[in-house]
Amino acid sequence: MIPRELQDYNQWVCWTRVDRTRTKLPICPATCKSASCTDPATWGNYQQAQATASRRRLDGIGFVFTSEDPYTGVDLDYCRTIRGELEPWASEIVKRLNSYTEWSPSGEGLHILVKASLPTCGGRRTRGIEIYSSGRYFTITGDLLDQTPSTIEDRQAEVHDLVAALDRQSQRQPELLKTPTPVAQTDEELIRRARDAKNGAKFQKLWAGDTSDYCGDHSRADAALCSLLAYYTNGDQGRIDRLFRSSGLYRKKWDRPTAGSTYGSITIQAVVRSAT
């Protein structure tokens, strides 16, 4: 059962899968066109989203997090073992937060909703775990995890501790691939290879500068394209940077100084660390 307090907000969208990929495109309940996680005009109320999803046979409904509401969502990916049990790391987080927890549409992940704010605006993510408080939507299934609360609880201290633990874990990860093996293919050959791959449609949209699969979130789209480029370049950071600058996503922010580096280099390094 979806918490009643969540149903009272006009921050609901429908969603549908794009092609055969895992991408979940948010849909405006009123117009059935693409919704944006930063445009309230494309959201609706809970009843409207439910009705539209049912009438149009869409895949489900979702809730958009904003800085105006008290909620934070924790997304745990692929946390179910082949025996159907929770992975130990996921079980620990579920117990620590002890709030409304539901299975994701795939049945392989969990969404935990709490009342809390993040130390920094927007969201945090590391491998297998994403935490958001604004600018993002979560699919909502109402498929409650057994022996967890059906209510959304205040968990500010617990979220603060979880974020701090994830930051420490990230700092312990290898900084970079030490010596990436050069890929002999030319840039043109790499791009053609990426376009012809099974997920070529995803690459093509990102390469063209299309952020619609990421709710218009340029930072997430940047990271997604860099992740694909890291695969095809074997983690060659210089080449990732050169290729990215030729894409439709490239903009002035890429060279903006950030924390003693640049936004672009930090994005690439984070992707390469994750791949490592």
Active-site pick, 75, 217, 222, 236:
75
For residues 133 and 208, what is the distance between their CA atoms, to the nearest angstrom? Answer: 28
Active-site pick, 102, 130, 158, 236:
130
Residue 77 known to be catalytic: yes
Active-site pick, 111, 217, 222, 236:
111
CB 214 within 8 A of CB 160: no
For residues 264 and 97, what is the distance between their CA atoms, to the nearest angstrom? Answer: 33
H-run or E-run covering 216 = none
Active-site pick, 5, 59, 77, 143:
77
Residue 154 known to be catalytic: no
Residue 236 known to be catalytic: no
For residues 37 and 18, what is the distance between their CA atoms, to the nearest angstrom? Answer: 17
CB 136 within 8 A of CB 100: no
Residues found in the chain: 276
DSSP 41: G
What's the distance, CA 249 to chain centroid? Answer: 18
Residue 87 known to be catalytic: no
The angle subtended at Cα 196 by Cα 193 and Cα 198, nearest 5°, is 115
Catalytic residues: 75, 77, 111, 130
